[in-house]
Copies of this chain bind each other. A is one copy, B any other.
Amino acid sequence: MRDVVVIGAGITKFGELWEKSIKDIFVEASLKAIEDAGVDHIDSMYVGAMSPGLFVGQEHLGAVMADYLGVNPIPATRVESACASGGVAFRQAFLEVASGASEIVLAGGVEKMTDGADVTEVLAAAADQEYEVYSGITFPGLYAMIARSHMEQFGTTREQLAAVAVKNHRNGAKNPHAQFRKEVTMEQVMNSTMVADPLRLLDCSPVSDGAAAVIVASVDVARKLHKNLIRVIASSQASDSIALHDRESLTTLNAVVKAAEKAYTMADKKPKDMNLVEVHDCFTIAEVVVTEDLGFFEKGTGGEAAANGWTSIECKMIPVNTSGGLKSKGHPVGATGVAQIIELYEQLNGTAGTRQVGGAHVAMAQNMGGSGASCVVHILEVK
């Protein structure tokens, strides 16, 4: 496989974008990415989206977006892995350039969630319909069970979960694309409406519209364009049982562990080599569990790490979700994985503004689907 680099990025505001269609936002992000890259064409494109069929009645999203972006007749393929759809789109673009089949590929992600669908029901299609959903559970309930188990097993506290939300809102307040550009206090999180015990409203990522796109290319192309060489030094993906009840443990996400192992091996790096990480904090407990499963903290100590500020930009032990994460930036599910890559791209280019992690040169993104049944991990390095 040959080296692959990220040479451009574009993103829409995340939020309730009622005045724009799914096509509008995907095209907006893609045009920004193409302009940022400075390329005059793309060879191929991938569109990550979880459920445009159920959300807005439109499938065949690769062809739809290629058409509205004005790039026919290039190949355009939609990929889906629930909330990891964006990460998977990036991985497929990486593989296509790595194979030598293409030189310049767009990886985009999009979701339009606020146009009237029953969002909780649509998202539940990422769980096991036959066993989990039929029994009445949806995602807040699934992650609440993970949280309750983590509390029972390791003594994780409500305050520690709240610390994740407080930190992510603090970061998101500095992100111009974030849905919630405001800080929240520990008290606000602790007193917000109960959703699924022990998870409260401010433990949950929001329902969002949004799109994100990046351009990946061969090193030859990047050199001709005089780009920083932001290389994709690892791309890995893993799967786990779709239903929570089939797992040996509720407090370890095996797909995250496996994807991380493969990524560290491929990149020849260790957790301590990372300057920052974007993780899939669909709920605060997810960030706690994932920072453990990625090897940044011992199992059971992720909550303590968050409460101690070890994941803040300032501390620099391992800044987590400098973008604000899903919690504050918003979570248009198909766009999320690509938006994570964009945060890495900005940080590694030194253009993250007040969110900048000084001297960042290696960064990781972790994106997952459902209650962790699929997970994609990427490591990027400027070199």
Binding site for B on A (CB under 8 A): 1, 21, 23, 44, 50-51, 53-54, 56-64, 66-67, 71-82, 88, 91-92, 95-96, 98-101, 122, 125-130, 133, 236-243, 246, 254-255, 258-259, 369-370, 373-374
Return A220 CB to nearest CB of chain B, in Å. Answer: 16
Return 30 A-B CB contacts under 8 Å, by A number: A1-B100, A54-B54, A56-B129, A58-B129, A59-B80, A59-B82, A60-B242, A60-B369, A60-B374, A62-B239, A62-B374, A63-B82, A63-B242, A63-B369, A63-B370, A63-B373, A67-B246, A71-B239, A72-B255, A73-B238, A75-B239, A76-B81, A76-B374, A77-B80, A77-B81, A77-B237, A79-B80, A80-B80, A96-B99, A99-B101
Would B254 and A73 count as touching, CB distance under 8 A?
A: yes
Would A67 and B125 count as touching, CB distance under 8 A?
A: no
Which chain B residue has the least Cβ–Cβ distance from A243?
Answer: B67
A133 neighbours in B (Cβ, 8 Å): 57
Which chain B residue has the least Cβ–Cβ distance from A125?
Answer: B59
Most buried by B among A57, A62, A71, A246: A62
Would B239 and A66 count as touching, CB distance under 8 A?
A: yes
| Contact (A81, B78) CB under 8 Å given A1-B100, A242-B60 | yes
Interface of chain A: mostly helix, strand, loop or mixed: mixed
Most buried by B among A57, A63, A126: A63
A61 neighbours in B (Cβ, 8 Å): 80
Would A79 and B82 count as touching, CB distance under 8 A?
A: no
A67 neighbours in B (Cβ, 8 Å): 239-243, 246, 373
| Contact (A72, B241) CB under 8 Å given A53-B53, A99-B99, A101-B98 | yes
Which chain B residue has the least Cβ–Cβ distance from A54?
Answer: B53
Q: Bound state CA distance, A119 and B243, in angstroms?
A: 28
Would A238 and B75 count as touching, CB distance under 8 A?
A: yes
Select one of B51, B78, B88, B242 contacting A53, CB under 8 A. Answer: B51
Q: Beyond the given A60-B81, A63-B242, A80-B80, could you list 14 further A-B residue pairs with CB under 8 A, ordered by the A residue number?
A: A54-B54, A60-B82, A63-B374, A64-B128, A66-B239, A67-B243, A67-B246, A72-B255, A75-B236, A75-B237, A76-B374, A77-B92, A78-B80, A96-B99
A21 neighbours in B (Cβ, 8 Å): 130
Select one of B60, B81, B127 contacting A62, CB under 8 A. Answer: B81
Would B95 and A88 count as touching, CB distance under 8 A?
A: no
Select one of B53, B77, B79, B239 contacting A73, CB under 8 A. Answer: B239
Return A45 CB to nearest CB of chain B, in Å. Answer: 9
Select one of B72, B81, B91, B254 contacting A240, CB under 8 A. Answer: B72
Would A239 and B80 count as touching, CB distance under 8 A?
A: no
Q: Bound state CA distance, A243 and B128, in angstroms?
A: 34
